[in-house]
Amino acid sequence: MSGLGKGITAASAGRLLVDMGYKVVPIKVDPYINIDAGTMNPFQHGEVFVLKDGTEVDLDLGHYERFLGVEVTGNHNITTGKIYKAVIEKERKGDYLGQTVQIIPHVTDEIKTWIRRIAHENGADICLVEIGGTVGDIESMPFLEAIRQMQNEEREEDFALIHVTLVPIDSCGEQKTKPTQHSVKELRSIGLVPDVIVCRCSEKLKESTKRKISLFCDVPIEAVISADDASDIYEVPLKFKDEKLDTYLINKMKLSRKAERKEWTEIVDKLRKIEDVVRIAIVGKYIDVKDSYLSIIEAFKHAGITNGCKVVTLWVDSEDLEKSELKLDVDGILIPGGFGIRGTEGKIKAINYARENNIPFLGICFGFQLAVIEFARNKVGWSDANSSEFEKTKHPVIDILPEQEEIDKMGGTMRLGDIEVTVVRNTLAHTLYGMEKVVERHRHRYEVNPEFIDDLKEHGLVFSGYSDGGRRMEILEYPENRFFLATQFHPEFKSRPYAPSPPFVGFVRAALERSKSIRKDS
């Protein structure tokens, strides 16, 4: 079922293989008809993750990049929309030579060809494929059929099928295996036989439960893996290692351990030893679905590991702030990305509160733009300052640049993916990054209006990063405060447990210093 943890399971299994010295390339299959996740509502689908080539994808691709230490492209995300588009284009060109185009073999052949092409092009030792959805869904049937065919076409040792199921606990505390039995029965009815069954359960699977699943589902008992609740998702690979999933997989695929990397274990050990706590408010409008800000939460975790503290997030609805007096008992305030006018005044109020009370502040994308608007209104004195996205004004400090208007007319949308940013020396940004050229991922359309930059600078706002030869502002900071920084790009998308995002590291460090100073004074 949805939300069971297939993505974390796949990423964790992949991490075990990476730690044994193998190059693992991930592919996520999403059965929805959308070409990509770019137009999806965060309330329904969670965060839209942006890849280096600008493709907007499902948040599971973010887990893969963080767990496996890889950077993937849009070709690593297969959707029903992409497959049918490719098949129809081939049919229109006459590639099928007049055949009747059908699900089998044409659609399934396209799926298999796509998977094998990506594995080959990336020089993968192992290609990790996650099939989204639920067994029995109409949407996922062509993909499951393609996998069934691949299972017969590949050598037995070159193919392993991991099935993730739910083991609920009833009111008497008994672990129920019937959902797993029925799920495996459904899977076998379409010709797929699982090699491993990963069982999601709130508590560790009992040996008796494992034996029952092994008996009724026809898998060895060592292939029944307990995926009980973890205190943190980064512990899941280690839990799987304790369950000897790594040993079972390499035996199944007739592989050997080429290495024994300890990097992941060291990260989890640091995570477990953390004692200090900082409280940071995330002021947004999608807070009812925490997955809408998943990469930000993960970037906080990475920065917390580096600074030896745990980041506790306080979720603040920006619309509520518009109607109430603002007083936040936190060590830092973050304004995330977003779109649309709803809740913007609440976010601007929070930025003003952070700046005037010297509370560490980090703005991301839309948060960067609103920081410019807040400064223009309350420091420069342009009370009508705003974005042209929302209204016509004498001071459209955020606007669409002429070249972007031309792109939009030709059917383009946003600036997406990796873009090089020049970082100005002797600034906070340069201190954080330690270099003058960085590459970060973008997802936006509007920019700081060049017409007003000099006035903003005169009143103390510093633009410490830029791109496009200085035409586009990328980083701002306000040196009067202990930490006031915002980025037009999304630094959270490139943050990793072993390579945390510099803006997040600096922000969490400043929040921790503030927390310690307050405790000391009290």
| Catalytic positions, written as ranges | 365, 490, 492
The amino acid occupying position 238 is: L
Q: Are 254 and 158 in contact (CB under 8 A)?
A: no
The amino acid occupying position 191 is: G
- Residue identified by tokens 């999403």 is 30
The amino acid occupying position 362 is: L
Helix 263-273 with 294-307: angle, nearest 10 deg: 80
Helix (H) or strand (E) holding 314: strand 309-317
Q: Are 479 and 432 in contact (CB under 8 A)?
A: no
Total length of the chain:
522
Strand partners, 260: none
CA dihedral sign of residues 13, 30, 76, 124: positive
Rounded Cα–Cα distance for residues 472 and 447 (Å) = 7
- Residue identified by tokens 């600034």 is 427
For 223-244, b/e burial (b = at least 16 CB within 10 A) is bbbbbeebeebbbbbbbbbebe
Rounded Cα–Cα distance for residues 471 and 291 (Å) = 34
Neighbours of 46 (CB within 10 A): 21
- The two tokens of residue 214 are 């092994």
- SS3 of 204, please? coil
String of DSSP letters for 87-98: HHHHHHHTTTTT
Burial category of 32 from C-beta neighbours within 10 Å (exposed 0-12, middle 13-18, buried 19 and up): middle
Q: Are 288 and 41 in contact (CB under 8 A)?
A: no
Rounded Cα–Cα distance for residues 57 and 490 (Å) = 15
Rounded Cα–Cα distance for residues 288 and 216 (Å) = 40
